[in-house]
Amino acid sequence: MSGQNKMVNKELARHKQRRVSRPLPKGKRGATTSPTHEPPGLFIPVEVTEAALQAVDCISPGLYLTGFRGAELWSNLSSRAITHVINLAANCYDNEQEAQPFASKGVEYLCIDISDSEDQDIFKHFDACHAFIAKALDSSVSVETEGRERQAVLVNCAAGISRSATVVLAYLLLSGLAPTLRHAFIEVKARRCIIYPNEGFMVQLLKLEAKLRGNKEGSVTMEEYCAWRKQN
């Protein structure tokens, strides 16, 4: 079994314990900034299928999210004009070349070696990832790669569930595309229903939200998030 497949299997085993069986409680502390209309059926158990793992999901214009399988198919990148990739599963590969399979085609990579563990410091990577995505999506940047403008970014980890979702959520907050973490989470999960940042990463996302909002009360609490992820 390849290193990538082993990592995906480990992540899936962990995330089976993180499936949602009921919605985030409303009216509790930190929940006042929830959007008025949350997509129906959003907070329900989700079956993690092979198709869901391989899907390359568009989160916002020019920004995509997937697992390692989706990132290893050139057709997925070329058909979406993806020229920048953040690979948060660099620890799954034996060498740098494997972690950057399309570098020879002009794709620019940001490879980060971090595991999907609650004690990992993903916060320290938020600014670099935001800058990488923002630069790639900047409409003033029109450097051609094989005749295509640099206009799309793909973010992936092993399964496209925790690490990559955390970075995308952080980007939405840092770029101002989402006013709160709750808004960001709802938007991303509506487009890739299998996302579940581990609890340590969620703590760090709340830290980022507090920093950006001047230490205002969070839009979601860890008590809510942990309860939300428990199975009945």
Catalytic residue, from 92, 129, 157, 193: name it. Answer: 157
Distance, in Å, from the CA atom of 44 to the CA atom of 194, rounded to the nearest integer, reads 11
Distance, in Å, from the CA atom of 114 to the CA atom of 25, rounded to the nearest integer, reads 31
Give the pair of three-digit tokens for residue 191. 């487009």
Give the pair of three-digit tokens for residue 5. 């497949």
Query: 157 an active-site residue?
Result: yes
Phi, psi of 122 (to 5 degrees): -90, -20
Give the pair of three-digit tokens for residue 54. 């391989």
Using alpha carbons, list the distances in angstroms from residue 188 to 42, 102, 149, 160, 169.
11, 26, 25, 12, 7
Distance, in Å, from the CA atom of 75 to the CA atom of 130, rounded to the nearest integer, reads 25
Identify residue 51 by its one-letter amino acid code. A
Positions marked active-site: 157
